[in-house]
C-alpha cells in the first residue's frame, strides 16, 4: 500500500505541475500581449508569484477540495485503504488527461474543474452518488458562471474609471505609465493564481494521507504546502505557450491600461474566492476580465467565436473528467 500511496502523491504533483504548465497563460497572457515583458521574463515572474502565494492566504480552498466535493470521511469508512487510494488516483487521471488534451489544442480551460470532475466520477464509481456533497458541487457549478462574470464586470469598471481619469492625457503617456503598473498587477495576479490553484493539490494529498491513516484529521502539513507550490512553480516556469497564444492574442488586442485592468480584476476575484474557500477557475476569471476590457474599447474587437469555443470547453470539462475517472477506477479496481 505504501508504494501505491507514494505513486498517487507523485501523480498529484504531476497534476500540480501540469496545472502550472497549462495555466501559466492565465498569469502572463496580458503582460505578454501588451509587450511589457518578454514571454521568458513574464513566466519567470509568474513562477515566483506562484511560489510565494501561500505566505499570504489560508488553506480554505484545500479544505473544500478535500471535504466539500465528496464526503471523504464516509468513503474512507466503507472502502479499504488501497481502494480509497485507487479512487484518488483515478480522479487525478481524469484531470490530467483533460489538461493534456486541452493544452495540445491550446484551449484555456480550468484545471480546478477537471479535478472536481475527476473526484465526482471516481467517487461515484467507487461508492455511488450518496457520497457526493451536493452543496459544494453546486457552488462550483454556480461559480463557473459567476467568476468570469465578476472578472468581466470588474475589469469594465476599472477601465471606465481609468478612461475617465486620463481622458485628457496623451495616449503615449498613458501607455508608459501603465506598462510600469502592469508589472505590479501581473505579479499580484501570479500570487493569487498560485494560491488558488496549488491549494487543490494540497487538498488531494491531505485526504490521501487521512484516508491512508497517516493523519488523524484534515490539517494540511507544511511539507505538502511547500511541495505543491514548488511543483506549480516549476510548471509555470516551463510554461504552456500554446495557451499563452490563445489568451494573449486570439481573444482581443490589449493596450497596457487594459492589461492592468484585466490582471487587477482577475486577481481581485481570486482573492475574494480564496477568502471564501470557493475553488474557482483562474482561467475563467482572467478570460472574463480580458473579454470585459476588450469589449469596452470595441465590442467587435473581441473574437467572440474564439470566446464561444472556450466557454464550450468550460462546459465539457467536468463531465469529461468525471467519465474518464469513472472508467479509470473501474479498470484499476479490476486489475489491482
For 86-112, write each residue's pLDDT tens digit: 999 999 999 999 888 887 777 767 778
The single residue listed with the C-alpha cell 482577475 is: 266
3 state SS for the chain: CHHHHHHHHHHHHHHHHHHHHHHHHHHHHHHHHCCCCCHHHHHHHHHHHHHHHHHCCCCHHHHHHHHCCECHHHHHHHCCHHHHHHHHHHHHHHHHHHHHHHHHCCCCCCHHHHHHHHHHHHHHHHCCHHHECHHHHHHHHHHHHHHHHHHHHHHHHHHHHHHHHCCCCCHHHHHHHHHHHHHHHHHHHHHHHHHHHHHHHHHHHHHHHHHCCCCCCCCCCHHHHHHHHHHHHHHHHHCCHHHHHHHHHHCCCCCHHHHHHHHHHHHHHHHHHHHHCCCCCHHHHHHHHHHHHHHHHCHHHCCHHHHHHHHHHHHHHHHHHHHHHHHHHHHHHHHC
How does residue 243 score in pLDDT terms, banded at 50, 70 and 90?
Answer: low
pLDDT mean over 306-310:
64
Domain of residue 165: give its range.
2-335
126 has a pLDDT exceeding 80: yes
264 has a pLDDT exceeding 80: yes
170-192, pLDDT tens digit by residue?
Answer: 777 777 888 888 888 888 887 88
Q: How many whole angstroms separate alpha carbon 15 and alpha carbon 67?
A: 19
Q: How many domains does the chain have?
A: 1
pLDDT mean over 262-284:
80
pLDDT mean over 153-165:
87
pLDDT mean over 240-263:
66
Among 124-138, 176-190, 244-258, the range scoring the smallest mean pLDDT is 244-258
- Higher-confidence residue of 219 and 277: namely 219
How does residue 200 score in pLDDT terms, banded at 50, 70 and 90?
Answer: confident
Question: What pLDDT does residue 87 have?
Answer: 94
pLDDT mean over 67-89:
88
Question: What pLDDT does residue 14 have?
Answer: 93
Amino acid at each position: 500500500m505504501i508504494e501505491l500511496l507514494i505513486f498517487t502523491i507523485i501523480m498529484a504533483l504531476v497534476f500540480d505541475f501540469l496545472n502550472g504548465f497549462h495555466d501559466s497563460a492565465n498569469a502572463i497572457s496580458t503582460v505578454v500581449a501588451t509587450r511589457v515583458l518578454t514571454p521568458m521574463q513574464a513566466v519567470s515572474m509568474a513562477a515566483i508569484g506562484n511560489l510565494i502565494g501561500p505566505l499570504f492566504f489560508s488553506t480554505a480552498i484545500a479544505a473544500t477540495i478535500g471535504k466539500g466535493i465528496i464526503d471523504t470521511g464516509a468513503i474512507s469508512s466503507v472502502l479499504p485503504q488501497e481502494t480509497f487510494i485507487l479512487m484518488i488516483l483515478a480522479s487525478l487521471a481524469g484531470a490530467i488527461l483533460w489538461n493534456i488534451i486541452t493544452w495540445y489544442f491550446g484551449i484555456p480551460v480550468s484545471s480546478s474543474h477537471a479535478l472536481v470532475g475527476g473526484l465526482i466520477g471516481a467517487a461515484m464509481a467507487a461508492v455511488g452518488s450518496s457520497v457526493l456533497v451536493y452543496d459544494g458541487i453546486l457552488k462550483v457549478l454556480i461559480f463557473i458562471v459567476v467568476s468570469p462574470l465578476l472578472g468581466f464586470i470588474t475589469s469594465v469598471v476599472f477601465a471606465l474609471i481609468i478612461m475617465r481619469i486620463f481622458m485628457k492625457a496623451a495616449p503615449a503617456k498613458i501607455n508608459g505609465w501603465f506598462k510600469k503598473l502592469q508589472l505590479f498587477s501581473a505579479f499580484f495576479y501570479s500570487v493569487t493564481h498560485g494560491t488558488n490553484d496549488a491549494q487543490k493539490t494540497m487538498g488531494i494529498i491531505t485526504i490521501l494521507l487521512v484516508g491512508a491513516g497517516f493523519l488523524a484529521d484534515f490539517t494540511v502539513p507544511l511539507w505538502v504546502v511547500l511541495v505543491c507550490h514548488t511543483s506549480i512553480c516549476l510548471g509555470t516556469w516551463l510554461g504552456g505557450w500554446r495557451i499563452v497564444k490563445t489568451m494573449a492574442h486570439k481573444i482581443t488586442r490589449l493596450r497596457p491600461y487594459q492589461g492592468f485592468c484585466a490582471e487587477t480584476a482577475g486577481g481581485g476575484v481570486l482573492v475574494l474566492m480564496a477568502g471564501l474557500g470557493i475553488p474557482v477557475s483562474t482561467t475563467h476569471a482572467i478570460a472574463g476580465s480580458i473579454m470585459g476590457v476588450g469589449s469596452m474599447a470595441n465590442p467587435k474587437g473581441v473574437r467572440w467565436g474564439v470566446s464561444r469555443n472556450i466557454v464550450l470547453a468550460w462546459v465539457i470539462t467536468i463531465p469529461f473528467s468525471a467519465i474518464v475517472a469513472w472508467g479509470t477506477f473501474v479498470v484499476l479496481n479490476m486489475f489491482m
